[in-house]
């Protein structure tokens, strides 16, 4: 009887720890930095389906904990090495549970004793703390809204503005003006569209200027002629600069006829003397010609010449 009672107690203990006593199983492992209160005997689920239990939990070092899971043998052809293991909770504050979720990646099947990739569990305490901070922020926002509404209720200017009956009329007038402005803008847009269409079709002076190929050829020829004229002007300026430079050099060196004419005082006196002599010779020649006109030998000739000239006028 004692042996039977002992066997019954052990059996109940194993059943209470969710040990799979009669089915075939194989083992999978995963490593976590924090198991969040997970204990041996907690359930293991694959995609939400009960597939095994936690066999043992071992501390590898101060930052790593390894859990061993007994998985139903039927899942050996389903669970792949790319599956992700995470620790969750049954309900909001229930027992801990290990969840195995397929990742969808191509990978070999997980073998007996193999390791699966782990994912950190959500800390309920941190979640509650975040929720508390959010509640405090919402309370602050509600307080601010309350103060704003109180200020609006106590504002005479706002209620005066809302009770002013002339505002709707002003709004209607403003909307009418806006409608008129919109109509004017539409008309201007249509006019611009018409102008652009005429230009594209070659109408008007601008359209002809942009679309007439002969005008483009004429403009090109004119540009070529201007270019040629500019080249000739440049060459002429170059020649003038050369001449001026030569004259400047002659003046500076005292050489050449220009330098002699401008700087040699003796030559200048000779030129003035020559010009005086030429003037005197011209005056004497004119006097001799007048004398010839009044001589008896040429008097008749010059009278006939004057008569002919008078008849021609």
Neighbours of 80 (CB within 10 A): 16
pLDDT of residue 258: 56
Sheet arrangement for strand 84-89: 114-115, 25-32, 64-72, 49-61, 43-46, 96-101, 84-89, 117-119
List per-residue pLDDT tens for the chain, 313 residues long: 888 888 887 776 665 554 555 558 899 999 988 888 888 888 898 888 888 888 888 988 888 889 999 998 888 888 888 899 988 887 666 788 899 898 888 888 888 888 888 887 666 666 777 888 888 889 889 888 888 888 777 777 766 767 777 777 877 888 888 888 888 888 888 888 888 777 677 666 666 666 666 666 676 777 788 777 777 777 777 878 777 777 677 666 666 565 555 566 676 677 778 778 788 777 777 777 777 667 666 666 667 777 777 776 5
Residue spans of alpha helices (H) in the chain: 2-16, 124-153, 156-163, 166-201, 204-211, 213-253, 256-263, 265-294, 299-312
What predicted TM-score, i.e. pTM, was given to this entire model?
0.37
Name which of 244, 245, 264 is nearest 254 in CA terms.
Answer: 264
Q: Are 13 and 21 in contact (CB under 8 A)?
A: no
pLDDT of residue 141: 92
Name which of 14, 15, 60, 67 is nearest 37 in CA terms.
Answer: 67
Domain segments of the chain as ranges: 15-123
């Amino acid at each position: 009887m004692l042996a039977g009672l002992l066997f019954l107690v052990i059996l109940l203990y194993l059943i209470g720890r969710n040990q799979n006593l009669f089915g075939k199983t194989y083992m999978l492992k995963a490593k976590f930095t924090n198991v969040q209160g997970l204990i041996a005997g907690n359930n293991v689920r694959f995609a939400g389906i009960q597939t095994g239990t936690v066999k043992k939990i071992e501390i590898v070092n101060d930052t790593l904990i390894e859990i061993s899971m007994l998985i139903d043998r039927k899942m050996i052809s389903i669970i792949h090495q790319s599956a992700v293991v995470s620790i969750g909770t049954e309900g909001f504050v229930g027992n801990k549970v290990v969840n195995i979720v397929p990742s969808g990646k191509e990978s070999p099947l997980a073998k007996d004793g193999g390791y699966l990739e782990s994912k950190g569990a959500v800390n309920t305490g941190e979640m509650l703390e975040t929720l508390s901070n959010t509640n405090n922020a919402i309370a602050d926002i509600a307080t601010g809204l309350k103060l704003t509404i109180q200020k609006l209720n106590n504002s005479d200017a706002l209620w005066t503005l809302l009770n002013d009956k002339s505002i709707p009329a002003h709004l209607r007038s403003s909307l009418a003006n806006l409608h008129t402005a919109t109509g004017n803008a539409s008309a201007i847009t249509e006019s611009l569209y018409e102008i652009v269409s005429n230009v594209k079709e070659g109408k008007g002076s601008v359209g002809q200027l942009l679309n007439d190929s002969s005008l483009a050829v004429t403009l090109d020829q004119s540009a070529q002629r201007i270019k040629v004229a500019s080249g000739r002007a440049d060459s002429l300026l170059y020649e003038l600069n050369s001449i001026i430079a030569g004259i400047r050099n002659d003046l500076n060196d005292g050489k050449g006829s220009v330098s002699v004419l401008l700087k040699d005082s003796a030559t200048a006196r000779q030129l003035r003397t020559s010009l005086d002599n030429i003037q005197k010779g011209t005056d004497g020649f004119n006097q001799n010609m007048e004398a010839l006109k009044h001589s008896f030998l040429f008097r008749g000739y010059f009278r006939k010449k004057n008569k002919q000239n008078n008849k021609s006028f």
